[in-house]
Amino acid sequence: MRAAKLSNAELNDAARHYDGPYRPYDIVKEVCVCTGIVALIALVLTILFSSPDLPPSTIASWSRTMPTDFVTTALSELDGTSETATYGEPYNHQSGSVQKLWFIDLQKWLGVSHPVNAAYDFVIEPLRMIPDDPSLQSAVSAYKDAPAKTQNAWSTAYSNALAKASTKADGPVAVPHGNYGPVAPMMSSLLALAQSGGLDGDLLTSKQFFQTDYTKPLLFLEDGNVLSDRATYQNLQGSQWGMMNETGSYPGQVWLWLYTFWYQVQTGGLASSPNVDAIVLAIMLVLSLAFILIPFLPGIRSIPRYIPVYKLIWRDWYASTQAKRDTDPPAPRPPPGRAPATP
């Protein structure tokens, strides 16, 4: 004879009470022993593997090892074509990296909270702070006072010349002669400032003595290739499941595997969508809410009943109660809604 399956309400009620036997248990001892075991495992892992610590990239090291890339990036900041210059909120009012979900444009609605003017903050202001160089200050003034069309012509010419530039590490970038206006001396001076280490300090957001906000230097670094090249080598790019990877061969944030997974999905153009970050976050928010609310989700909450892993977990208990049932006389059937927890 087959027993009828319990309804969810009956299953729920059956779990409210337990009238069966108990066994001795020392909760404090368990936690103390477990803490000792975990500390020991962490100690062994530390002795065997230590932890990664790749030195950070600085603007100084970037400009010394990749001077052409540095100047190319600085030029894109000056002419307003870099990622930061075109980003949008929360840095400026452009739209290059602004994402939205349907009509929900939270990024734009919450406005510019960390204002960044790429041309002024990354190029013009640092050059203005260089003392005792009147020819440089004249060049900066000439650039600022020139019409936009002229500025673009100088920048375009210099950008094209950078493709033919010759350079060596720690040295200046030499470009063929051309009509670059004040852009050439500005870029040369900025490169020299960066290679000396001065630009790292100049880009810190706060003008106070103590500094903790690295928004501007990090944005400038990100616009170049120095971080990206290192990340590719370390398998940290988004297309390399990099969000859950760590530098070297260490386990990273592996708990982000599902979050990272969505960036690999090409179906429907998700991974290449201009709104991919907003879409993936929205998906994860919905899944996170579902995760919290599993006890109330029909179907999902019944999966443990359809795939009875619980029989493995409680196999000893089921075996002992079955043996007891085989030797004891049958118990009276409990009233509805007050079923005992034991089978």
Q: Where in 98-137 is the site for another protein (CB under 8 A)?
A: 99, 106-107, 109-111, 113-114
Tokens in use for 264? 């690999």
Of 153, 188, 242, 244, the one binding another protein (CB under 8 A) is 242
Q: Rounded distance, CA 37 to CA 175, Å?
A: 63
CB 306 within 8 A of CB 296: no
Binder among 25, 102, 103, 209 for another protein (CB under 8 A): 25
Region 69-98 residues binding another protein, contact defined as CB under 8 A: 89-90, 97
Per-residue binding string, another protein, 194-223, x by CB under 8 A, is: ------------------xxxx--xx-xx-
Question: Closer CB to another protein, residue 5 or residue 177?
Answer: 5
Query: Which letter does DSSP use for residue 101 in this model?
Result: B
Is 16 among the residues that bind another protein (CB under 8 A)? yes
The minimum distance between CB 214 and another protein, in angstroms, equals 6
Is there binding between residue 330 and another protein (CB under 8 A)? no
Which positions from 297 to 316 touch another protein by CB under 8 A, shown as an x/- string?
-xx-xxxxxxxxxxx-xx-x
Q: Is 127 exposed, middle or buried (0-12, 13-18, 19+ CB in 10 A)?
A: buried
Measured from the CB of residue 326, what is the shortest distance to another protein in angstroms? 14
Contact 208, 77 (CB under 8 A): no
Q: How far is the CB of 258 from another protein (least distance, A)?
A: 11
Told to check if 280 binds another protein by CB under 8 A, we report yes
Which position among 160, 253, 264, 273 is part of the footprint of another protein (CB under 8 A)? 253
Check: CB of residue 186 under 8 Å from CB of residue 139. Answer: yes
Q: 228: which residues sit within 8 A by CB, 6+ positions away? A: 222, 237
Q: For 294-321, give the DSSP string.
A: GGG-TTGGGHHHHS-THHHHTHHHHHHH
| Residue 100 or 128 having the CB closest to another protein | 100
Are residues 108 and 88 in contact, defined by beta-carbon separation less than 8 angstroms? Answer: yes
**What is the rounded distance in angstroms from the CA atom of residue 91 to the CA atom of residue 78?**
16
In the complex, minimum distance from the CB of residue 166 to another protein, in angstroms, rounded to a whole number: 29
Shortest separation between residue 264's beta carbon and another protein, angstroms? 15
Among 45-53, 73-81, 184-192, 265-273, which window interacts with another protein (CB under 8 A)?
45-53
CA dihedral 78, 79, 84, 87 (to 10 degrees): 150
- Given 51, 266, 272, 327, the residue binding another protein (CB under 8 A): 51
